Structures are given as structure tokens and as C-alpha cells.
Amino acid sequence: MDLDSLEKKIGVNFKNKLLLAQALVHRSYLNESKEFSESNERLEFLGDAVLSILTSEYLYKKFPKHPEGQLTNTRSVLVRGKTLAEVARSLSLGDFLLMSRGERESGGSQNSALLADATEALIGALYLDQGLETVREFLEKFLYSKDYEAIDFKSVAQELSQAKLKLSPKYKVIKAVGPDHNKIFTIGIYFGEDLAGTGEGKSKQEAEQAAAKVALEKLTKTM
């Protein structure tokens, strides 16, 4: 296993290389090799806790006017499996995972759930080897620097509006301009009959995300 190249991607030289290797061991690998006595699951458990506290701290400081509910919703999106799997993919973490031949042949190295677990295990290994500050720097580089790209604003808007307004947002196309191959959509997000924000995009999905982001920013200022 070429741990050096992974360390370069992460930007950290582990003092204990075995910790890094341990973070990459899927439970299926134990059936085929005696190289490791346990999988990465305990590191995953630790990494999950470290990720939660650091993400809570990050959002608390970044959004001083956000209410508790919105902070919770945003954190849940940042630390969910889909987002963590994208972090793993940005590091090509699947290429380094140790798993059984059957697991790999069935697509395990690109399985989002396995990648998300491996990301948490890596965070746990970083914490034990380097400490909290290095984990914070890792998250700022690979997760928080992309928070606005990673956050599914429609999901956050849905959760927040249901919790606070008892309403589900609705999206309507306000206009679409340009030729079919290069259309620009303007979409509005409505809470009940009230227009909460508009967004533009080259697809309806992109415009809906932009509209949801605007609506969340407005909600934050008024709540």
C-alpha cells in the first residue's frame, strides 16, 4: 500500500503509519488476510465524534446569527454520508482501501457508504496521530472550503421550513430564456404563497439550489 502518496494528498506525514493503514481496512479484508487484527470501525466511531464537535464549532463561529435548528440542519448535511463520500473521492480514498476481492469486484471501492465510513476512520486516525488542530485544518481544506458546494440547500430549506413554518417549500419556473441547448432558468421558491427567493441556473436543479440558498439567507436574518 502506497501510503506516501495518500499522505501527500492529505498534506500530513503520520508519525504512526499503522494508524493510517488501520483507517483503510474494511472488515471484509480480515477474512482474507492476517495482516490486521481489526477493521477501521473503531477509528470510524472516534472520527464521527471528532467530526461532529469540530463541525459544530465551525458552524457556530461562521454563522453567528443562525438559530440552533438551522445550525443542526446544516451540520447534518455537512457530515452526512453523501458529503463525506465526496471528500473520500477527492482524495481517491477508494484506491487505498483494503477489502476482500469479492467486495472490490462488487464495486466496494466506490461504494458511497464505505467511502464515508473510511473518511470518518481517517479523521479518527488523524486525531490520534496529530491532534485536534490538524483535523481542523484537514476539514477546512477538504470539507469546509467546499461547504456551499457540498450543502444541498434544497434539503436544508425543506427541513427548516417544515420545522419552523410547518410548510414544505414549492418551486416554480418564473422564466426560461435562451435556446434549448443553452437555456437559463429563473426559479422561485415559495413558502405557502410567499416568494422567499429566486435563483438562476443552466438547469432547473441548479436554479432551485440557488433559490433555496437565497431563501435560507433571508430566513436567517429574520429568525
The answer to whether residue 95 is catalytic is no
7 is known to lie in a ligand binding site:
no
Nearest one of 131, 125, 139, 132 to 21, comparing CA atoms? 125
- What Å distances lie between residue 141 and 137, 174, 181, CA to CA? 6, 37, 35
186 backbone dihedrals φ, ψ, rounded to 5°? -115, 120
Which one of the listed residues 120, 129, 147, 208 is annotated catalytic? 120
SS3 200: strand
Query: Which amino acid appears at position 111 of this protein?
Result: N
3-state SS string over 29-59?
HHHCCCCCCCCCHHHHHHHHHHHHHHHHHHH
Burial 33-58 (b: 16+ CB within 10 A, else e): eeeeeebbeebbebbbebbeebbeeb
Catalytic, out of 48, 103, 147, 208: 48
Sorted by sequence, the CB contacts under 8 Å of residue 104 that are 6+ apart come out as: none
Please say if 180 is a catalytic residue: no
Look at the chain and count its residues: 223
- Catalytic (active-site) positions: 48, 120
Binding-site residue positions for Mg(2+): 44, 117, 120
Binding-site residue positions: 44, 117, 120
